[in-house]
């Protein structure tokens, strides 16, 4: 029993020293923004699920903006309007 506790303490100590994996890096999934298509592409009012997903992906927006596959959507005026409507600040991305 003491051995199990010692192994558990070592694992916990390693997690504290190394730190948990980056949540933002793991959670970047542009597919989760499909619920925002009507707002970002068509200018419709964003739904609650769109705003929720945008907030969850907020740390990924600069990554998407620099990706040629998504930049046209993320950098568009309707995307900026969607972010503003959801109460999300428009990110300042490094060039």
Ordered by where they begin, the domains of the chain are: 22-85 (1.10.110.10)
pLDDT band (50, 70, 90) for residue 12: very low
Q: Using an 8 Å Cβ cutoff, are 40 and 82 in contact?
A: yes
Mean pLDDT value across the chain = 77
Is the pLDDT assigned to residue 13 strictly greater than 80? no
Is the pLDDT assigned to residue 21 strictly greater than 70? no
DSSP-based three-state secondary structure for 95 = coil
CA–CA separation, 39 vs 8, rounded Å? 48
Write the pLDDT tens digit of every residue in 32-74.
999 999 999 999 999 999 999 999 999 999 999 999 999 999 8
Q: Using an 8 Å Cβ cutoff, are 88 and 55 in contact?
A: yes
């Amino acid at each position: 029993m003491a051995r199990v506790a010692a192994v558990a303490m070592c694992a916990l100590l390693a997690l504290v020293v190394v730190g948990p994996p980056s949540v933002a890096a793991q959670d970047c999934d542009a597919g989760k923004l499909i619920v925002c298509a009507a707002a970002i592409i068509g200018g419709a009012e964003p739904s609650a699920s769109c705003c929720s997903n945008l907030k969850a992906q907020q740390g990924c927006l600069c990554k998407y903006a620099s990706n040629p596959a998504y930049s046209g959507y993320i950098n568009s005026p309707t995307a900026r309007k969607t972010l503003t409507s959801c109460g999300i600040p428009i990110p300042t991305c490094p060039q």
